[in-house]
Chain A
Amino acid sequence: MNEQIHKVNGMLETFLENNADARKEQVDGEQGFNLYYIMSVTERKVIYQQITDPYFRYSKTQFGQHIQSIGEECPPDQLLLRLCKGQTVLIYDDRVYTIKKSLKYATRSVSTPQVEASIVGPLEAFVESMAINLNLIRKHYQNPDLRVVKFEVGTTSHVSGYLLYDNELADKTFVDNELAQIKKLTIPNAQAVSKVQQHLPKRRSLLFPRSVVTERPDRTSQALSKGKCVYLIETSPFASIAPISFHDFMASMDDSYMLPVYSYFLLVLRYFALLATVILPGAYVAFTAFNPEVFRVQLALSIAGSRAGLPYPAFLEVTFMLVMMELLVEASLRVPKTIGPAATTVGGLILGEAASQANLVSDIMIIVVSAVAIANFVIPINPMSQTVRVLKYLLLFMGTVAGFFGLTIGFVLLVGYVFTLHNSNYSLVQSFKASVSLSTKSASAGRQSS
């Protein structure tokens, strides 16, 4: 027994030497009562109130019981990891205890949503703290059937996360499947919930997100009540929801708060925007360079006029403008907030006025590109919006290679591909209200059994 304590002591001493913010506190040298903790992730007050103070006030038996109740005995191999997780290691009576309560992470308070704005919805967003996030979810979803499963991801970073689901509503096989997948996760470092989510399916999806990432507790609550699973990660102010249907990417939370006609109107608008932003660049090339007979004569002539004298073919013109637009978007996203407006103003000026004045792009092209850019921002969920940003280049390529025919082929292939995507046995395009019998597994299982 003493042998082991000795070993543990040695381990802790080495840790102390290597980490400047680790502390050792000798409470009572005679009894060998030592505390070890990392100053930067622990609350001194808790240590004082819960450990040091009772030690001097309680009798020895009382204190023993007290320690038993607030701490837990720890196997030596877990010791350093727990120390790093903000727990206090306590060596008392030749035993090693760890005390969770002392953990203290720096966090910010609940603020308004930054990514998913809403007009009439609640103005709370998740933050990088599990306590607050769970608090928010429990506030929005007060149901005894809510299950919270804790897990740990990252083979090197050891970040803790939670899987939440409604026990009554969620599909059990799906949840079990997800939990099994989580156990198998081998990514070394995961700081964001979307990264964890990416690695959950058997084959990592390359283009289309398989989960909705949200910072809104109300969306999370809605998802739970539809029987979906919600993932939270300690380090991420976002929750991720699975399984999802494609429609979830196009739905904003306001849809359920606003009057039905208005929200349907918005939905139609968003799908139109999706279509426009994906197809327009390809269609511009396909129609101007391959099939100008599609346009009515007035439009054909005005495009021909605006393109006259341009030094390069239409597909280069589109690519050039699109790349400029992407740069502008990316720049205004990444530059410090203080010079952000300047970047967009300069870019907008150059792209809009000067390029057409210098006969580098046609006026109509500028309209097309700005329509594409604006339509892109209409898509409410950011990961989908990013996917769509890439998709339009695929269709642009197809339109350049084979005109309208290529464009339709590209569209059908794209849609066909989206339709093949599955998360476990939920199709990405499946309406969630559909009976589960439509999922591949159950039907084919039924076939084999008969």
Chain B
Amino acid sequence: MNVLFYVSLLIYYMINHSLLNLPNVIDRNYLQNGLSALPIGLLLAALNAWMLLSVYNRFPKFTMVEINRYLCGKYLGNFLSIMYVALTAFFGFFMFRGLMEVIIEFLMPHTPVWFLAILLISVPSLALLHSDNSVIYMTAFFTLIAAVLMILVFWLGFKEIDPVMLQGVVYHGWKMPSLKGIVASAFVYGGYTGLYVMNPYFARTSIKLTFLLFVTVGLFLSLCGTVIPLAVWGPWALRNLNLIWIMTAETFSLDLFVLERGLFLMIPLLLITGYIGVFLYTYKGYRLLSLLMPRKATAKVIICCVLVSYVILSLLVQEPAVNYRYRELYMVVWFFYQNITGVLLYVLAKRKGRTPSAA
């Protein structure tokens, strides 16, 4: 049963990032960098996942905070944990602002932004009421909805694909990848970072299963997420478009109950993945902080401050391009953090494993 929840967590990350993040980086730079970042990203993510999972499986009852403390000592360990919390908070903001962009543009163009921001912040603040297992259940529930919507959207996408363009895109896609592209495609597989908090629930996570999901679902989703917009719009027109998947869904005409525009299947999908994304990042930050801090209340106060700053910042940062630029930069930082800690923990765990005291 727990395996199912782990799978849903991984798949949630894949859906979220292969629709919201990846196309922005890969598709816009397709003419320069092509698609070759996708397999490279998969390989790097798999390497990182293997290292981290083998460390986390060694300590089945520990969360990230305890593992870092145990392996790296009090100061370095806590520093690494706090840095991860900070990274989480930043990415929470990028998702928050990205979601706001969609809402302002497509749903509520005339309503004041501060009002939308306050309404939207109510979702991540719900995280303060939750506990680990309810978060797991909730993620699984919404992943199910998102997966159904996504299959619908992809299916419509396949119908709308221009086969000539698809062939051309695949033929011409193999060029030198850029660092940002690789990082973005590795980011898609980041669901295993959920273990930082949930390790006691999932522990003894199967590495084989993780890899299997990476290669099947993950690769499929990241390919579909990037190739369908390219094949529908063509790489040239896509360079000028923001919100790539929304614009792609806008080209789908369908005949489903009361709907005739594919856009309105895409927007609920985007909203749901976005809400749960912000929610999960906030929860992760909150949970790690409450493990780090001596008192739980301190963590609550800090998270509340972070959420308030989301609202204020999202009023200040009005230009979506700025958001995208910083998000791409952020992913590079995340990637280096992830790989460095991965190698560090793996080496330290091997060493400590040899000494009898760590049994």
Contact = CB atoms under 8 A, between A and B. Distances in A.
Contacts of B268: 408
B130 interface: yes
Interface stretch (B205-213, B220-228, B253-261): B253-261
Given A413-B122, A443-B200, A405 B271 contact: yes
B130 A416 contact: yes
Interface in A368-410: 401-406, 408-409
B122 A438 contact: no
A296 B258 contact: yes
A403 B107 contact: yes
Contacts of A290: 107-108
Interface in B163-212: 200-201
Contacts of A419: 130, 134, 137-138, 141
A259 interface: no
Contact of A420 (B111, B131, B264): B131
Contacts of A422: 131, 134
Contact of A297 (B119, B141, B260): B260
Interface stretch (A125-133, A159-167, A425-433): A425-433
A433 B2 CA distance: 12
Given A294-B259, A419-B137, A420-B130, A405 B103 contact: yes
Given A294-B264, A295-B258, A430 B272 contact: no
A233 B212 CA distance: 54
A450 interface: yes
Contacts of A406: 119
Contact of B138 (A403, A416, A437): A416
A435 interface: yes
A296 B116 contact: no
Contacts of B130: 416, 419-420
A409 B129 CA distance: 16
A404 B136 CA distance: 26
A405 B107 contact: yes
Interface residues of B, number: 41
A443 B132 contact: yes
B258 A408 contact: no
A306 B259 CA distance: 19
A443 to B, nearest CB: 5
Interface string A274-292: 0000000000000000110
Given A415-B141, A435-B1, A447 B272 contact: no
A409 B120 contact: yes
B140 to A, nearest CB: 10
Contacts of A416: 123, 126, 129-130, 138, 279
Interface residue tally on A, bucketed by range: 35 or more
A417 interface: yes
Contact of B122 (A291, A409, A450): A409
A296 B111 CA distance: 24
Contacts of A297: 260
A419 B132 CA distance: 11
A144 interface: no
B264 A403 contact: no
Interface string B110-133: 010001100110110010011111
A439 interface: yes
Given A402-B108, A437-B2, A443 B133 contact: yes
A412 B119 CA distance: 12
A445 to B, nearest CB: 10
B133 to A, nearest CB: 5
A450 B61 contact: yes
B335 interface: no
A413 B62 contact: no
Nearest to A303: B258
Interface in A210-260: none
Interface string B1-33: 110000000000000000000000000000000
A417 B128 CA distance: 11
A355 B119 CA distance: 35
Contacts of B272: 408, 412
B252 interface: no
A290 B267 CA distance: 15
Contact of A405 (B2, B116, B136, B137): B116
A439 B133 contact: yes
B113 to A, nearest CB: 12
A397 to B, nearest CB: 12
A438 B119 contact: no
Contact of A440 (B115, B129, B133): B133
Nearest to A297: B260
Contacts of A417: 126, 129
Given A409-B120, A413-B122, A415-B141, A420 B134 contact: yes
Which of A401, A416, A433, A443 has the largest count of B CB atoms less than 10 A from its CB?
A416
A336 interface: no
Which of B1, B61, B137 has the largest count of A CB atoms less than 10 A from its CB?
B137
Contacts of B275: 408-409, 412
A297 B261 CA distance: 11
B138 A427 contact: no
B68 interface: no
A93 B120 CA distance: 78
A232 B272 CA distance: 42
B258 A405 contact: no
A109 B256 CA distance: 54
B132 A440 contact: yes
Nearest to B267: A404
A290 B61 CA distance: 49
B103 A293 contact: no
Contact of B119 (A294, A405, A427, A431): A405
A422 B130 CA distance: 10
A331 to B, nearest CB: 33
B63 interface: yes
B137 A429 contact: yes
A437 B201 contact: yes
Contacts of A431: 1
Interface string B262-282: 001001100110011001000
Nearest to B271: A408
B133 A296 contact: no
22 contacts: A294-B259, A294-B264, A296-B260, A404-B267, A408-B275, A416-B279, A419-B134, A420-B129, A422-B131, A422-B134, A427-B133, A430-B133, A433-B1, A437-B201, A438-B2, A438-B136, A439-B133, A440-B132, A443-B133, A443-B200, A444-B200, A447-B63
Given A416-B129, A443-B132, 17 more contacts: A402-B111, A403-B108, A405-B107, A405-B271, A408-B275, A409-B275, A412-B126, A412-B272, A427-B134, A435-B2, A438-B133, A438-B136, A439-B133, A440-B132, A444-B132, A444-B200, A450-B61
Interface of A: 290-291, 293-297, 299, 401-406, 408-409, 412-413, 415-417, 419-420, 422, 427, 429-431, 433-435, 437-440, 443-444, 446-447, 450
Q: Which 5 A-B pairs have the closest CB atoms?
A: A296-B260, A450-B61, A416-B126, A419-B138, A419-B134
